Amino acid sequence: MPVTLRHRPRMLRGVRMERPVDAPVLRTARATLRPHRIEDAEAWHRLHADPETRRFLEWPERDAAAARWHLLGRTRRTRLWQTDDFLALAIEVDGELAGDVSLHLRSVRATGRTVEVGWVLAREFTGRGIASEAVRALLDFAFGDVGACFAVAEIHNDNHASIALAERLGFVLAARDEEQSSYLLTREMHQHRQGGDQEADPTRHPVTNGEPPTAA
């Protein structure tokens, strides 16, 4: 019976980055982005069980056992090094699992390194700017530590909330078909926008790696 591999073995993926980049712990004003933990299984299942939350995701409805298994896979997605590597971080707010952000390494070459960015937020945490804060922190990490030149986001055309979020963060429409739109953000665009955001709001907390921001 033939064996189907979901991911190519590392030895077949070709060029590596100069060094592997492991999952960080990033703290913003209201959220912590950190590696997933199996202890979050109950909250992860609640997120999966909400049809509205997974409406634009390619996720099937999962029972508690299947959601736990899916989360277990996410706990292992902690390193970027070669093409197709995937890194996932939990969004934690006030000690609760609020959602997930992810980076998919699409191209390794230093002069064109590209990551695909993804995000999902449980419905009870929406409408508070938490997703924007979390994705902005992830982009800082992608363009800084990972050395990405480009970030892309693939968004369903009817997912107006995610489209608005992407545009707020500076992404521009690159391509569109009948179902999905591709949005692009370059490192230079992100840096320029970050400088403008900080100038407009000098009290905005910086993203920190490991240590929480301190009050001035």
Q: State pLDDT tens for residues 152-185.
A: 999 999 999 999 999 999 999 999 999 999 999 9
Is residue 91 within 8 Å of residue 48, measured between CB atoms? Answer: no
Q: State pLDDT tens for residues 17-49.
A: 999 999 999 999 999 999 999 999 999 999 999
d(CA 153, CA 166): 8
The count of residues in the chain is 216
pLDDT of the residue at 148: 98
Tell whether 76 is covered by a domain: yes
pLDDT of the residue at 104: 97
How many domains is the chain built from? 1
Q: What values do phi and psi take at 19, rounded to 5?
A: -155, 150
Tell whether 78 is covered by a domain: yes
Residue 47: which H helix or E strand, with range? helix 41-49
Q: pTM to 2 decimals?
A: 0.86
CATH classification of the domain holding 182:
3.40.630.30
**Structural domain of 173:** 19-202
The DSSP line for 135-195 is: HHHHHHHHHHTS--SEEEEEEETT-HHHHHHHHHTT-EEEEE-SSEEEEEEEHHHHHHHHH
